[in-house]
Structure 1
Amino acid sequence: MGHDHEGQRVSRRRLITGVSSLGLGSLLAACGQDAPAVTTSTGASVSPTATTSKDLTALFADANTCTLTATTTQGPYYFDADKIRSDIREDRKGTRLRLAVKVQDSETCKPLGNAVVEIWHCDAAGLYSGAESQSTGGGGRPGGTPPNGGPPTGAPTGETSANDLTPADDKRYLRGAQVTNSKGIVEFTTIWPGWYRGRTVHIHAMVHFSNARVLTTQVMFDEALNTKVFTRSPYAAHTGRDTFNDGDTIYKDTMLLKVTEEDDGYLGAIVFSADSDKDGK
C-alpha cells in the first residue's frame, strides 16, 4: 500500500457519497491492489494502492480475535480531515511507525473490503493538528481544563455534528484515511504518538462502511516500547508524563498493537472486528 491518493484533499464523506453514482465496487476497488486510476463524481483522481512491502500474515494471525472490537469515545479532536493518503507524517518529527490495520466483520470473521479507515493522533509534543491551541490547554480548549490539569471534559465547542470538532486552522498532520483492499487491510506510515496529560499513548481510529460509522476505537502501545521511544528526540523534550496504560480509563488489553522492529522504526498490526450491519453483534 503506500502512495495512494497521496496528499489529495478528498473528503472521506465526498468519497463515500460518490459511491452512489459510480458504484461501490468500481470506485473503491481503485483503492485496492493493481487497480487503474479512476475519477470520482467530484473530479478527484483516485490512484491505485501499492502492494504492501512485507507479508503481514504472521502479525495478523494473533493480533486479535474475532470478537467485536471495543468502542470508545472519539475524543474532542476528531474532524473529517479531507485527506485520503497513507503517509500522514507531513513535517512531524518522530520515530517512524508503519501501522497496518485489518478490518473484519465481527460476526463472520471475514475481511471487510471497501471500508474506510481513518486514524488521527497527537505529535511528539502532544499536539493535534487543527486543534493545537485546544490540545495545549490554550484558548478555546474544548470543555476547559479540569482543576487537576487532566484532559478536557464535556463536549467540544464549535461542533459540526455530534462530537465533531471544527478545526481551528488548515493543519492536517497525523490525520488520514485509507480504503481497505479485498483482504480488509489498510496501511499507514506515521510516527509513534506522543502523550498529553490525563491519557496514555494512543491512536484514534474510526471505520466507515456503507455510509455509516461502524466502529470508533483506539489503539494502545506496550509501555516498555513507549519508554524506549520516549528517551529519543524529539520525545525526550516532553517531560512529566502522568498517565500510563494501567491508569488509563479507556485502555484495554485488546487494544494493544502488536509491534516488531523494522528498519529505522517499527511495524505495528492490529485487527478491528467491526459491526458492519450495526446490529450490536
Structure 2
Amino acid sequence: MRRWRQYDRHHATGESVSPQATTSSDLTGLFEGANTCTLTPDTTQGPYYFDADKIRSDIREDRQGSRLRLAIKVQDSETCRPLSNAVVEIWHCDAAGLYSGAEAQSTGGGQPAGPRPEGGAPPSGAMPPGPGGGDGGDMADLVPTDDKRYLRGAQVTNADGIVEFTTIWPGWYRGRTVHIHAMVHVSNSRVLTTQVMFEEALNAEVCAAQPYAAHTGRDTFNDNDNIFEETMLLKITEDGDGHLGAIVFSADSDKDGR
C-alpha cells in the first residue's frame, strides 16, 4: 500500500496534486442534505482495486459516456469537521462494464485467484471464492493484467475537505447495480472503503443513450443489489451536457469504530 503522506505538493512525475475542488455555490448547495454526520458504511473494495498511481481530477482518458462531475466532501464522523489533506481514490467501470487494469477479468477472459466479488451474483470473469469467502472488505488488491488506467484516479482534499473529479456515468456489469468505488486514506491508513450509487430513474435515462445502450441485459438494480443503501445515493443535478453529483463521506479517521 502506498504511503500517501509521502506525496507532498507534487507527484513523482511532476504532476500537480493540489486539490482541484472549490467551494462554489453550486457545491455548497448540493452538500446540504447530501449526507449527515452518521458514519459512512464500509463496503468491500471489490475484485478490481489496485493503486493506479494517478493523482488527477479528470479520469476519463479515452472513455466515452455521459459526463459526470463528482464532488466528495470528507469529514470526521465524530466531530463532523472537514478532513483536509486526505486522499480520496475512485474507480469504476466504463459504459461497457470494463475495468481498466482488469479488462480480461471483467470480460470473462481471465480468472485471477482470490475471493469472490462484492455481493450477489459475480460479474462475468470475476474472482472465484477464496479461503475467506463472503463479500467483506478483506479482498487482496488486484495485480493489474493490462496497462490501462482509465476511470481511476485520486485527489487530495482541500481545507474544506472537498475533492472534485470529472468522469463519466458508470456502466454496469452482471450482478451489480450502477456504482462507483471510493477509498479514503488518512496518512498511512485506509479509513473508509465505500461505494456511491445513483437514482434508478437517472440510470435508466443515461443507459438508454449511446454508448450505454449497446450493452444490453442489465440484471441488477438498486432494489436487488446486495450492497446498495440509501445513504450511498449521490445528490444529482444537471450540469450543462452532463450531471453534477455530490456526497459527504463521514470517515472514522482514528479508526475507533465511531
- Pairwise CA distance, 1:51: 5.9
Aligned twin of 2:155 = 178
- Pairwise CA distance, 1:86: 0.1
Residues 51 and 269 from structure 1, CA distance in 2 versus in 1: closer, same or farther, beyond 3 angstroms?
closer
Match of 2:80 among 92, 104, 109: 109
- 1:40-79 superposed matches below 5 A: 44=14, 46=16, 48-50=18-20, 52=22, 54-55=24-25, 56-79=27-50
Residues 165 and 231 from structure 1, CA distance in 2 versus in 1: closer, same or farther, beyond 3 angstroms?
same
Match of 1:256 among 221, 229, 233: 233
Q: Which amino acid aligns with 2:81?
A: K
CA distance in 2 between counterparts of 1:144 and 1:206 reads 19
Match of 1:139 among 92, 106, 110: 110
- Pairwise CA distance, 1:80: 0.2
- Structure with the greater alpha carbon radius of gyration: 1
Q: Which amino acid aligns with 2:5?
A: I
Residues 272 and 140 from structure 1, CA distance in 2 versus in 1: closer, same or farther, beyond 3 angstroms?
same
Aligned twin of 2:212 = 235
- Pairwise CA distance, 1:140: 2.4
Partner secondary structure for residue 236 of structure 1: helix
Aligned twin of 1:188 = 165
- Pairwise CA distance, 1:13: 2.1
- Pairwise CA distance, 1:53: 8.3
- Does the aligned pair in 1 maintain the 2:88–2:184 contact within 8 Å? yes
Q: Per-residue displacement from partner, 1:72-92 (whole Å, max 9, x unpaired)?
A: 000000000000000000000
Q: Per-residue displacement from partner, 1:31-57 (whole Å, max 9, x unpaired)?
A: xxxxxxxx56x5745354456384211
1:83 aligns with 2:72: no
RMSD: 2.4
- Pairwise CA distance, 1:225: 0.1
- Does the aligned pair in 2 maintain the 1:134–1:142 contact within 8 Å? no
CA distance in 1 between counterparts of 2:64 and 2:207 reads 13
Match of 1:154 among 114, 126, 129: 129
In the superposition, the TM-score normalised over structure 2's length comes to 0.88
Q: Which has the higher contact order (CA 8 A, sep 6+)?
A: 2
Aligned twin of 2:175 = 198
Q: Which amino acid aligns with 1:73?
A: T
Structure 2 alignment gaps of length 5 or more: 132-137
Structure 1 alignment gaps of length 5 or more: 1-11, 19-26, 31-38
Q: Per-residue displacement from partner, 1:59-103 (whole Å, max 9, x unpaired)?
A: 001000000000000000000000000000000000000000000
Equivalenced residue count is 246
- Pairwise CA distance, 1:14: 5.2
